[in-house]
Structure 1
Amino acid sequence: MKYSVVLLSLLLTISCNQRKNTDQNDTADVETKMVLDSASKDSMDKVAKPALKSFEGLADTTFVRLADFSEDFVYDMRYATENNFLKAQVYDCAECYTRVKTAKALIEANKDFMEKGVKIKFYDCYRPNSVQYKMWEIVPNPQYVANPDKGSIHNKGGAVDITLVDMEGNELDMGTDFDYFGKRAYHDNVDLPQKILDNRKLLKETMEAHGFWSIRTEWWHYNLSAASNDPVANFKWECND
């Protein structure tokens, strides 16, 4: 009987030690995982974002993706959705391309805007001529869509449709939504609240100071003067899933 008690006591001690070791190992595993997770997060935080590209060596007429040259813009590419006056998606994917000279002017204009606590938000940029034909098929009205046989400055990579947002991304009140076709969207309509007139003035005067000109009926549309004589293009960008 005495040996049985001793043996039982020994077995209980071994079992307790094994359980203790298991608990310690589990705790160590958890602590190790936490350390590794933390190190992994720190490592990810320290990984540099892809470097912005340089315009060096690029011809002014080269088409470029604007986001590759600046991180300071906001995008809402409406024609890559059905949220537009066409009620149809005509771009395969949302990208903002322009010619180099247009991109340079936009970046400089945006620097001025950011000093005032706002920045550019894009609705449309370069538009391949094939897309212009798609738009014309849906709305064959030159009052709203340029005839693709002639093309528009959007097809030349020199026009953009834009608004302004604050540094948190909230749109400034411009009086109408993008692609509102009515007198409320006209630049010469002064029968609007002063805040709206001030916002439009800021947009217009800053863009004009950087070589762009507007059209009377659309507060959002700006053409780069230096791109007026460029040829209509049908360059198409690749869509990455």
Structure 2
Amino acid sequence: MSDRRVAAMLVRDCGEDLVDVRSHGLHVDGRKRDAAGAWAHVRQGVLTRLLHAQSVLPVGVALLFIEGFRPPALQKQYFESYSAKLARANPLWPPAELRTAASRFLSPPEIAPHSAGAAVDVTLVDHQGSELDMGTRVNASPEESDGACYTDAPNLNVRARTNRATLGSALSTAGLINYGTEWWHWSFGDRYWALHTQQQAALYGPVDLP
């Protein structure tokens, strides 16, 4: 997300509402729950594509929705906290290097897909609701996971690699794209999506919960 081409993408917000995914039949996890219910919202176009992805998964496997919309103020808090952690661990890094490193794991607030209602953090569960082996936990940092959080990380067992491929196939078929440093992060309509799908502009910009 530190790529200047992402920040340079135009945004022509189409005005779609944020919608609550909890009333649409998806499995929704509460670990990111907040008082306002922001975490359970995405833009309508994102929800439509999640439901399509759900429909093409193998029998006995389902999406588990973990987090969608993240208010801009919360994104800023996350980004600054992670940047400070990296700065403590790497005191000789200049500010530009710190920002680039932080942006591999957390989007800068002004371009964050989550703050546009365009991104989702998801994983897979079996018919009993147990999470499948994906190689790392959701939201594992590069430092914690020794890089295994990267979607195409080489240090994965066969089962985790197969499960990631199943998740990726369903979401890609539905029109979402993955952020390669986080196997769980998928988006549609944001600046990153616009750049990688060669669109003229993003469909969604930062928004506030009604």
d(CA) in 2 for partners of 1:100, 1:193 = 35
Q: 2: CA distance between counterparts of 1:133 and 1:190?
A: 31
Q: 1:194-209 counterparts in 2 under 5 A?
A: 194-209=158-173
Aligned to 1:222: 186
Q: CA deviation at 1:160?
A: 0.4
Deviations 1:67-89 (A, max 9, x none): 12x123232343x4xxxxxxxxx
Task: Rate the CA distance shift 1:102–1:131 in 2: closer, same or farther, 3 A.
Answer: same
| TM-score of the superposed pair, with normalisation by structure 1 | 0.62
Structure 2 residue 104 is the aligned partner of structure 1 residue 143 = yes
2: CA distance, partners of 1:135 / 1:194:
32
The secondary structure found in structure 2 opposite 1:136 is helix
Contact 1:130-1:234 within 8 A present in 2 as well? no
Superposed CA deviations along residues 119-167 of structure 1, whole A, max 9, x for unmatched, are: 111221011212212223322333332221x221111111101100012
For structure 1, the 5+ residue unaligned runs are 1-58, 81-90
* Equivalent position SS for 2:25: coil
Aligned ranges for residues 40-55 of structure 1 at < 5 Å?
Answer: none
User: What's the offset of the Cα at 1:232?
Assistant: 2.8
Letter in 1 for 2:26: D
Post-superposition, which runs of at least 4 consecutive aligned residues in structure 1 deviate over 3 A?
91-95, 225-228
Equivalent position amino acid for 2:107 in 1: A
TM-superposed deviation, 1:103: 0.7
The higher relative CO (CA closer than 8 Å, separation ≥ 6) is in 2
Q: CA RMSD in A?
A: 2.2
2: CA distance between counterparts of 1:190 and 1:166? 24
Shift of 1:224: 1.4
What is the match of residue 164 of structure 1? 124
Cα distance change, pair 60–75 in 1 and its aligned pair in 2 (3 A): farther
Structure 1 residues 46-65: aligned runs within 5 Å: 61-65=16-20
Q: Are the counterparts in 1 of residues 117 and 207 from structure 2 also a CA contact under 8 Å?
A: no
1:88-103 paired onto structure 2 within 5 Å: 91-94=34-37, 95-103=39-47
Q: Which stretch shifts more, 137-146 or 176-185?
A: 137-146
- Tell which structure's C-alpha radius of gyration is larger: 1
Aligned pair in 2 of structure 1 residues 198, 235: CA closer, same or farther (>3 Å)?
A: same
Conservation of the 8 A alpha-carbon contact between 1:119 and 1:167: yes
Equivalent residue, structure 1, for 2:149: 185
TM-score w.r.t. length of structure 2: 0.70
Query: Following the alignment from structure 1 to structure 2, what is the Cα–Cα distance between the partners of residues 127 and 156?
Result: 8
CA contact (8 A) 1:123 1:162 kept: yes
* Unmatched tracts of structure 2, length 5 or more: 1-13, 84-101, 195-201
* % identity of equivalent residues: 25
Aligned residues: 165
